[in-house]
Structure 1
Amino acid sequence: MAPPARRPPDPERRDRIIEAALDVIAERGVAGTTHRRIAEAAGVPLGSMSYYFTGMDEVLFEAFSRLTSAMSTRYRDLISQARDRQQAGAAVVEIISGAAYGTPREMRLTLELYAYALRRPQLVEVMRDWMAASRASLSMHFTARTARALDALIEGLTIHDAMDATPMRRSDVAAVVDAIIRLDDEQP
């Protein structure tokens, strides 16, 4: 008698687990994220968690890496469309004031990443890679000094605007971005 036919592995299962992890983190925070909740959200058996990942730290690393990669890609795409520094400055304003940078879900995930990365050295690397990608995008049009300042402004204002009942007006954001860009012209 022939052995029973083996089912082919589900090549998309690992990706579904990572996406489900992001959904669970967005809904419950890192502290409320469990293997069971992720497996349920992904529609996979609980045993899949240990088959594809060594533990929760790896799941979180992969999930947050995916988040930052997707956000960095959109960021880079927007900046790279600029033909000059003026358009690049307008792209920075759009990242801060528009919908291009992150959805409310992504902001919740980003804030979870910031808090969690303080206690997990491997996630500090995710954060550093994300900052490097952002600065590389900005460096297409600005000096390294200005790219770093603009990156910090983007991070800070998006966090403030996510929490503030009255986000900063787009015209005020544009004025601050323009002031930082002008520093590039004044640099010796």
Structure 2
Amino acid sequence: MSERRVRRHDPGRRERILDACLDVVGEVGVAGATTRRIAAAADVPLGSITYHFDGTDALLHEAFERFARRVSDRFEASLSGAADVEQARSAVVDLITVDVLTDPQELVLTHELYTLAARDPRYRRLTHAWMARSRHALERHFPPATARLLDALVEGLTIHRALDTEPHGRDEVVRAVALVTGADRDLG
């Protein structure tokens, strides 16, 4: 009588692969994110990658989609607690100085996604959806044109804070948010 092969029950395998993909991209970039490396990081057989995803690009796309959603959820949560415009301004300052992309790996992932989006319309759709969610959250408190500028300010100052050898201090960020939102007359 032959032995029956026992299948390993691993309901979280697909999600673990997605998380491992982001970890690997954060460590070595998209160029170094091989399926072998991702499978090893997820502690799954290499065949699990091809079982769950139609190639490396499908895996990368879904992992970046998950990443963008996670960051957008935090962004929306930060702004949803604001009861008025002043609290919304404060939330934006906190997003830039404390909350968004404070983890160095998230900054790397963001730049890897931007690089893919610059070349591939599928990834560009992902970044556009991310920006649309950010603007929608900002539009609860600010006019659409202001929300668009604030979104760019958040993005730009977050990058500068992470990469600049002399990043903008909180007071400068408060001033920039005030200028964009029309509150600069209150600052003198």
TM-score bucket (shorter structure): over 0.9
How far did 1:6 drift? 5.1
The residue number in structure 2 matching 1:55 is 55
Give the aligned residue type for 1:116.
L
SS at match of 1:123: helix
Structure 2 runs not aligned, ≥5 long: 184-188
Structure 1 runs not aligned, ≥5 long: 184-188
* Structure 2: distance between partners of 1:32 and 1:8: 29
Which whole-Å CA distance do the structure 1 matches of 2:5 and 2:36 have between them? Answer: 29
Q: 3-state DSSP class of the match of 1:179?
A: helix
Aligned-partner Cα distance in 2 for 1:81–1:90: 11
1:88-145 C-alpha deviation (Å, 9 max, x unpaired): 00000001111x1121110111011111221222111110110011001101101111
- The Cα shift of 1:179 comes to 1.0
The CA distance in 2 between the partners of 1:3 and 1:30, in whole Å, is: 42
In the alignment, does 2:25 pair up with 1:17? Answer: no
In structure 2, C-alpha distance between the alignment counterparts of 1:127 and 1:9, rounded to whole Å: 35
Counterpart-to-counterpart distance in 1, 2:134 and 2:25: 23
**Runs of 4 or more above 4 Å deviation:** none
Q: Between Structure 1 and Structure 2, how many residues are aligned? A: 183
TM-score by length of 2: 0.92
- After TM superposition, the score normalised by the length of structure 1 is 0.92
Identity of aligned residues (%): 47
Q: Write the deviation string for residues 31-83 of structure 1: whole angstroms up to 9, x where unpaired.
A: 11100000000000000110000011111111111111111111100101010
**Aligned position for 1:42:** 42
- Is 1:163 the counterpart of 2:163? The answer is yes
